[in-house]
């Protein structure tokens, strides 16, 4: 029976690595076998990653009516898709807030009074908050409003619809509402 030779094994290893690159040859005749484990760390127990993709800018319109819109005209845009992918153990929460409003010079009304939004999803990975499932307004700029949440790691889409009801206070010009969506674990 042949004895295991460390020198011989190292010599063979050096020659093989030198000739082939990274091939390892070990003479295991007469050696014992043992189990081993391969492990890695994917961050701290509480850490996770979130990939969020919001829809691009939206232009509210009304079919069959052109600007300047008469009072009572509903401008809308539906089905604006958002995507979330996350490995967060306890899921994620999606929130939205208004960051600002832009109106034409001379406008004296409250744009947020007539600007409404709602969320919708067909995903069983995401639950739309009850306050976001039907059209509602923002009370003011700043406070976060919950859109919905997931309860475990998931990849899902949801859509946001916006609408604005033209009234007598709306003068001709450009209007916009800046929104900030936040996804957190």
Fold designation for 50-184:
Immunoglobulin-like (2.60.40)
- C-alpha 160/C-alpha 55 separation (Å) is 9
CB 60 within 8 A of CB 164: yes
Ranking 29-43, 98-112, 114-128 by mean pLDDT, the lowest is 29-43
Residue 24 has a CB neighbour count (10 Å cut-off) of 10
Q: What angle do CA 115, 82, 163 make, to 5 degrees?
A: 15
Residue 148 token pair: 């919905």
Parse the chain into domains and list their residue ranges.
1-29, 50-184
- The length of the chain, given as a count of residues: 185
pTM: 0.75
Nearest to 162 by CA among 184, 181, 182, 143: 181
Higher per-residue confidence, 67 vs 75: 75
Residue with tokens 């189990």: 35
Judged against a pLDDT cut of 80, whether residue 82 lies above it is answered with: yes
DSSP 139-165: SSSS--EEEEE-SSSEEEEEEEEEEEE
Instruction: Output the CA–CA distances (angstroms, integers) from residue 116 to 20, 123, 134, 155, 169, in the order listed.
Output: 66, 23, 9, 27, 17
DSSP 69: P
How far is 69 from 71, CA to CA, in rounded Å? Answer: 7
What is the per-residue pLDDT for 43? 66
- Answer whether 8's CB lies under 8 Å from 27's CB: yes
Predicted confidence (pLDDT) per residue in 29-46, tens digit: 665 667 777 767 766 666
Q: Give the alpha-carbon dihedral of 114, 98, 132, 65, to 10 degrees.
A: 40
For residue 93, what pLDDT is reported? 96
């Amino acid at each position: 029976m042949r004895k295991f030779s460390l020198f011989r094994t190292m010599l063979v290893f050096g020659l093989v690595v030198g000739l082939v690159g990274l091939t390892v040859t070990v003479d295991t005749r007469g050696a014992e076998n043992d189990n081993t484990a391969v492990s890695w760390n994917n961050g701290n127990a509480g850490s996770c990653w979130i990939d969020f993709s919001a829809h691009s800018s939206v232009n509210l319109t009304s079919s069959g009516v052109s600007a300047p819109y008469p009072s009572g005209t509903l401008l809308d845009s539906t089905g604006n898709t958002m995507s979330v992918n996350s490995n967060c153990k306890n899921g994620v929460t999606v929130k939205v807030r208004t960051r600002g409003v832009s109106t034409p010079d001379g406008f004296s009304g409250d744009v947020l009074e007539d600007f409404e939004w709602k969320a919708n999803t067909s995903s069983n990975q995401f639950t739309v908050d009850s306050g976001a499932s039907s059209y509602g307004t923002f009370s003011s700029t700043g406070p976060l409003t919950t859109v919905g949440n997931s309860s475990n790691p998931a990849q899902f889409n949801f859509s946001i619809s916006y609408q604005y009801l033209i009234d007598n206070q709306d003068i001709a010009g450009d209007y916009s509402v800046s929104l900030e969506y936040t996804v957190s674990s």
